[in-house]
Structure 1
Amino acid sequence: MRKTVIALAMLSLAGCASQPANTTASTTNNNAVVASSQSEQFTELADKIWQALSAPHKTALPDMSADALEQRYQRNKAWLEQLNTIDTTQLDKQQKINHAMIHYTLKNHVDEYRFKAHLMPLTAEGSFHSSLAFMPGYTQFNSEQDYRDYVAKLGTINRYMEQQTAWLRQAIEQGYTQPKAAMAGFEESILAYIVQDASDSVYYDPFNQQPKFIDDQTWQQLQQQARQVIDEQVMPAYDDYFTFMVSEYLPNARESVGASELPEGNAFYKNRIEHYTTTDLSADEIHNIGLQEVARIRAEMLRVIEQTGFDGDFDAFVNFLRTDEQFYPETAEELLQYAAWIAKKMDGELPKFFKTLPRKPYGIAPVPEEIAPKYTTGRYSGTNRDDRAGFYWVNTYALDRRPMYQMEALTLHEAVPGHHLQNAIAGELEGVPEYRQQTYISAFGEGWGLYSEYLGLEAGFYQDPYSNFGRLSYEMWRAARLVVDTGMHAKGWSRERAIDFMASNTALSLHNVKTEIDRYITWPAQALSYKLGELTIKRLRAKAESELGADFDIREFHDAILENGSVPLDILEAHINDWIKQQ
């Protein structure tokens, strides 16, 4: 680099006879040097940050002590300051996206520590005790050492859960608990992991099938070691956590529900809005958008009710949907098979809407029974491993609360063309850093998922008016989130008011309404990302259709939306505007 600068200076001195032309050349070349320097500096820094943030913990869970968290915070804060010094105008388009993505991830680490997220490492759906239970499925076992490392890691669960519990005790003292009403029954999710026989534990699953590369004697020793660690360390850790939750945390959880009631609550909620929506919209603006969308969708729902021939008003129709047995599956298998049929039907429609399809397949499975009672109706569980498929989870708990008329919308959102398609394409992007493949931005991903439900109309789904009402109910569900989330966290709404608003505007079962409201209470602002993301994608599509006219190609448009992975909404908008010009 130094030699290049000297050479450029000598060139400039040698060209005095044609000063204007050579000054331009010199300036251009110097700009190129500066851009190259900024590019290299950013790439080196971003790679260093990602390697640290994604470093695998093969033999031990992360240290959650106060000193360790403070050290990681100071490191991340210093890196964030370095990222902010990069002149992004000197980066090319892809590197600008890279910068935005690593900045998004790192800033969230800094912000979460600053707002003491470590004092609230749990939501109504679960906590570290349930997240840990995914460890067997996320661990790769390709050698004997992998199994030994896994057993060693199991041996650190006790320490890890003790550290997390210590933070929860501080949360009680400092007023950072989750709301009591939203956490009712939470202890059952802990109890579900406690077993009398170690071989029945989810943590023992990797030892149920002997691999060919381990001999019988070694395998038996590994099995014995795993059972011993589960019996002597893992189960006691869960017992202690259950006791703490029942005797200390839940009785002392706060009575209020809004994030605004927390210390620095208003600033915290504003920060979470920015993080989950990648916009600078205020809570009031989002609330009003939600009310407008609720009114629009309500009118469309009334038209669909007329199509069914039902004799009664909106409330009577919704009560009919919630109580009539014809709309509910009799068995879990029936529900799963229906979901599979819908997914396979959509698989056949994908080439009409996309030029680029992913290699990674997906499966369909029930939500794990340990977490199902307080879990949402369905979810996509992705994977970064190349030897595992992604999975569309369907909640088969309480079948009388899982209406079949909502399954088309749910399946298109969670499987294809929704989360699986988007996540798999992102994971298979070529020529981009790993963090571009693995970072998930809620406003983009959930916005795409909700847009995918709408896309089902063009793919020939929702032919039955009840199913179409189910689609509208799901869209209403996401619109109502804008109202109830901001209502509870910024406007002083009670849990009961939020439940009433959701129940009176959607066809969700009352069980689902309550579990959803509790999710929003304990996960502020995340629920805002769906509708705001979808509205952005729809607006960009309308603009592309208007400006391109007959040249608009839906397959090209969808590829353009997905080709950079999960990105902030402002970057998506700039990219699509560029794409429209290029067409």
Structure 2
Amino acid sequence: MHKCFISCLLLLSLSACQLNPSISPTSVTKNDITSAPTAANPQLASLIDKAWQLRLESSPDLAYAQGDTTAAGKLADMSPEALATINSKEQALLDSLKLIDKSSLAKEDKINAQILQYQLQNSVDLYRYKDHYLPISAESGFHAYIASIAKGRFNTEQDYQNYIAKLTALPQYFAQQTYWLKQGLNSGITPAKITLNGFENSISAFIVPVEKSGYFEPFTHYPKHFSDEQKQQFTEQGKQLVSNTVLPTYRAYFDFMTKEYIPGARNTIAASDLPDGREFYENRVRYYTTLNMTAEQVHELGLKEVKRIREEMQTVINQVGFKGDFAAFLNFLRTDPQFYPKTPEELLKEAAYIAKKADAMLPKYFGKLPRMPYGIQPVPAEIAPKYTTGRYSGSNRADEPGYYWVNTYALDKRPLYEMEALTLHEAVPGHHLQISLNQELTSLPNFRRYSYISAFGEGWGLYSEFLGLEAGFYQDPYSNFGRLTYEMWRAARLVVDSGMHAKGWSRQQALDFMASNTALSMHNVTTEIDRYISWPGQALSYKIGELTIKRLRKKAELALGEQFDIRAFHDAILANGSVPMELLEQQIDDFIKRQNNKS
């Protein structure tokens, strides 16, 4: 579940909505924004445009990033009426789309129709399963993601007026989300209580003196052209709003969560224990794999992959001459200080060094590279304790890059031997490269340029870790073990996610399985298992996508022989943006045909 992630991750991690460089938010009006380029089939073109306009209407941040200046001072409307209206319109679009004869469509229109149907069906499904009752997860929630409004553009007086309007609207936004949390309490649709241990800390992190609040930060510095009078006026307004509006809102939310919500959250962990839970989880399996797989098939595949990777890990243990069994080696990796950074700066510098090495490998493996660069930042402190080890945070502005986030919290739980695999996955050739290229595909309609299909994106990220092996990374055997433990991590996900949500596994059973098969620190094991509990199915994307890409590469290598070009193959994988696995296979089949015709 967790619809909040779908919108928040558009900005904060996986499928970040980057501002189209050809559009200036100061000069484009709402009527100028279209889903261009237009599909050849008029009926499909109309549906694509309506779906895109609906997405813009429901996401002011995306609308503003796309040039709609009227959305600049708005927050998303999460009221029952607004969500019901969106659902009704999406259902109508989906029904109309299903009536189109797909066999009569041109090739590109078939792809557009299939991806649009995939997106609309998911939105309709999530509403039916009451995903909007869960705007929080084990990692964080709406209260942390909404704070990104303080990171926006502050160049003009109007920018500050827009920000003030958002701050003024914050209590209503929290009230709307709290309404859905209460509906969840009443119907048994909540995160598992065990995953909410310490959740209140992610709220209290925002309850600070006004001058230390991230919401006040925009009022501490101004553009040079602002007069002293303007600065004083906005500073006073900012202090009043943060003091009298923002902080009371967070205090009330903290009280609600600690006194009512967390104590009332469900004691079970499985998605199958939710209303219509078994059906819901199988739906999530199909959505996140983009294949017609069942939970049982995923589980068996996971066990097979765990066995294979475990044998490779043992080879590395033998290589370093370690005297002891597998469990002893894992304990050695988790406890020996040589493997851990001493300061946040050391960890960030290591990430930066690896990232620069990764930049240098790109021309050898890719014919087309993105224009947008990326930077490296620590995970924001307020969410770091329960956050994953690293993530890609994209940009929704043309004048700001994407960022590779590195978690610098609990340094004794952030082993350096994992950093090569993490960096290749989150930065390049992983998420930054793939997402940035996706957004630069101006030949695609916007609903595809600014979207993210998890099996494709996460599969590509995991494949990127493997690609590093060919590119000369993992020369140190411990780093290679880190790569294998990351691969094992993703394989174990298939087992524990399906185990907990479909096969009756306990949380402790999942923790033990992950801990006994990977070198992840126990802190990371715990945060990851709680993430899978509160985000059913998403963890399946990685291995399924990676295995598909590897299989397609082998297929192309066998078919093309000496004509196989790794740069051309990677360009072909990324050529149509984020697509379901079935479509990816079709485009690689087309690639093979084109390459054969050249010879």
Matches within 5 A, 1:313-462: 313-462=325-474
Residue number in structure 2 paired with 1:144 = 157
1:190 to 184, 191, 203: 203
Matches within 5 A, 1:146-225: 146-197=159-210, 199-225=211-237
Question: Which amino acid in 2 is paired with 1:67?
Answer: E
Residue number in structure 1 paired with 2:19 = none
By how many angstroms is 1:142 displaced?
A: 4.5
Residue number in structure 2 paired with 1:79 = 93
2:84 to 70, 89, 92: 70
Q: What secondary structure is seen at the aligned counterpart in 2 of 1:123?
A: coil
Residue number in structure 2 paired with 1:31 = none
Question: Which amino acid in 1 is paired with 2:180?
Answer: W
Question: Which amino acid in 2 is paired with 1:193?
Answer: F
Residue number in structure 2 paired with 1:130 = 144
By how many angstroms is 1:368 displaced?
A: 0.4
Q: What secondary structure is seen at the aligned counterpart in 1 of 2:403?
A: strand
- Any idea what the Cα deviations from partners look like across 1:371-394, whole Å, max 9, x if unmatched? 000000000001131111000000
Q: Does 1:97 align with 2:111?
A: yes
The answer to which of 167-176 and 303-312 deviates more is 167-176
- Provide the rounded CA distance (Å) in 2 between the counterparts of 1:232 and 1:375: 30
- Provide the rounded CA distance (Å) in 2 between the counterparts of 1:62 and 1:336: 34
- Provide the rounded CA distance (Å) in 1 between the counterparts of 2:111 and 2:243: 48
By how many angstroms is 1:91 displaced?
A: 2.5
- Provide the rounded CA distance (Å) in 1 between the counterparts of 2:281 and 2:101: 30
By how many angstroms is 1:105 displaced?
A: 2.4
2:266 to 249, 254, 272: 254
2:553 to 524, 541, 563: 541
- Any idea what the Cα deviations from partners look like across 1:150-175, whole Å, max 9, x if unmatched? 11011111111112112111211111
Residue number in structure 2 paired with 1:48 = 50
- Provide the rounded CA distance (Å) in 1 between the counterparts of 2:451 and 2:284: 17
By how many angstroms is 1:224 displaced?
A: 1.9
Question: Which amino acid in 2 is paired with 1:509?
Answer: S
By how many angstroms is 1:99 displaced?
A: 2.1
Question: Which amino acid in 1 is paired with 2:177?
Answer: Q
Cα pair distance change 1:364/1:308, threshold 3 Å: same
Cα pair distance change 1:533/1:254, threshold 3 Å: same
Question: Which amino acid in 1 is paired with 2:361?
Answer: E
Matches within 5 A, 1:443-522: 443-522=455-534
- Provide the rounded CA distance (Å) in 1 between the counterparts of 2:239 and 2:111: 47
**Share of identical aligned residues, percent?**
60
Q: What secondary structure is seen at the aligned counterpart in 2 of 1:156?
A: helix
Question: Which amino acid in 2 is paired with 1:123?
Answer: S
Residue number in structure 2 paired with 1:60 = 74
- Provide the rounded CA distance (Å) in 2 between the counterparts of 1:229 and 1:271: 43
- Provide the rounded CA distance (Å) in 1 between the counterparts of 2:331 and 2:298: 29
By how many angstroms is 1:37 displaced?
A: 9.8
Residue number in structure 2 paired with 1:580 = 592
By how many angstroms is 1:60 displaced?
A: 2.6
By how many angstroms is 1:65 displaced?
A: 2.1
By how many angstroms is 1:214 displaced?
A: 3.4
- Provide the rounded CA distance (Å) in 2 between the counterparts of 1:62 and 1:119: 16
Count of aligned pairs: 546
Cα pair distance change 1:561/1:127, threshold 3 Å: same
Q: What secondary structure is seen at the aligned counterpart in 2 of 1:364?
A: strand
Gap runs ≥5 in structure 2: 1-37, 61-70
8 Å CA contact 1:443–1:532 kept in 2: the answer is yes
- Provide the rounded CA distance (Å) in 1 between the counterparts of 2:335 and 2:208: 36
Residue number in structure 1 paired with 2:318 = 306
- Provide the rounded CA distance (Å) in 1 between the counterparts of 2:242 and 2:108: 47
Cα pair distance change 1:154/1:105, threshold 3 Å: farther
- Provide the rounded CA distance (Å) in 1 between the counterparts of 2:107 and 2:198: 49
By how many angstroms is 1:67 displaced?
A: 2.0
Q: What secondary structure is seen at the aligned counterpart in 2 of 1:556?
A: helix
8 Å CA contact 2:90–2:123 kept in 1: the answer is yes
8 Å CA contact 1:363–1:389 kept in 2: the answer is yes
- Provide the rounded CA distance (Å) in 1 between the counterparts of 2:209 and 2:154: 26
- Any idea what the Cα deviations from partners look like across 1:430-450, whole Å, max 9, x if unmatched? 222122211011100000000
Residue number in structure 2 paired with 1:19 = none
Q: Does 1:229 align with 2:231?
A: no
The answer to which of 289-298 and 139-148 deviates more is 139-148
Question: Which amino acid in 2 is paired with 1:560?
Answer: A
By how many angstroms is 1:205 displaced?
A: 2.6
Q: What secondary structure is seen at the aligned counterpart in 2 of 1:241?
A: helix
Question: Which amino acid in 1 is paired with 2:316?
Answer: V
Residue number in structure 1 paired with 2:278 = 266
Q: What secondary structure is seen at the aligned counterpart in 2 of 1:365?
A: strand
8 Å CA contact 1:410–1:453 kept in 2: the answer is yes
8 Å CA contact 2:54–2:86 kept in 1: the answer is no
Question: Which amino acid in 1 is paired with 2:52?
Answer: W
By how many angstroms is 1:54 displaced?
A: 2.1
- Provide the rounded CA distance (Å) in 2 between the counterparts of 1:581 and 1:124: 46
By how many angstroms is 1:38 displaced?
A: 6.9
By how many angstroms is 1:333 displaced?
A: 0.5
The answer to which of 538-547 and 215-224 deviates more is 215-224
8 Å CA contact 2:75–2:169 kept in 1: the answer is yes
Q: What secondary structure is seen at the aligned counterpart in 1 of 2:314?
A: helix
By how many angstroms is 1:89 displaced?
A: 2.3
Q: What secondary structure is seen at the aligned counterpart in 2 of 1:226?
A: helix
- Provide the rounded CA distance (Å) in 2 between the counterparts of 1:51 and 1:285: 38
By how many angstroms is 1:508 displaced?
A: 0.1
- Provide the rounded CA distance (Å) in 2 between the counterparts of 1:452 and 1:182: 30
8 Å CA contact 2:39–2:45 kept in 1: the answer is no
Question: Which amino acid in 1 is paired with 2:102?
Answer: T
The answer to which of 532-541 and 113-122 deviates more is 113-122
By how many angstroms is 1:232 displaced?
A: 1.2
- Provide the rounded CA distance (Å) in 2 between the counterparts of 1:437 and 1:38: 18
1:280 to 274, 288, 292: 292
CA RMSD of aligned residues (A): 1.4
Q: What secondary structure is seen at the aligned counterpart in 2 of 1:254?
A: coil
8 Å CA contact 2:39–2:109 kept in 1: the answer is no
- Provide the rounded CA distance (Å) in 1 between the counterparts of 2:159 and 2:583: 40
- Provide the rounded CA distance (Å) in 1 between the counterparts of 2:240 and 2:134: 31
By how many angstroms is 1:542 displaced?
A: 0.3
- Provide the rounded CA distance (Å) in 1 between the counterparts of 2:433 and 2:202: 30
Question: Which amino acid in 1 is paired with 2:200?
Answer: E
By how many angstroms is 1:520 displaced?
A: 0.2
Question: Which amino acid in 1 is paired with 2:81?
Answer: D
8 Å CA contact 1:38–1:90 kept in 2: the answer is no
Cα pair distance change 1:317/1:108, threshold 3 Å: same
- Any idea what the Cα deviations from partners look like across 1:442-476, whole Å, max 9, x if unmatched? 10000000000000011100001100000000000
Q: What secondary structure is seen at the aligned counterpart in 1 of 2:404?
A: strand
Question: Which amino acid in 1 is paired with 2:150?
Answer: P
By how many angstroms is 1:370 displaced?
A: 0.4
The answer to which of 409-418 and 202-211 deviates more is 202-211
Question: Which amino acid in 2 is paired with 1:107?
Answer: Q
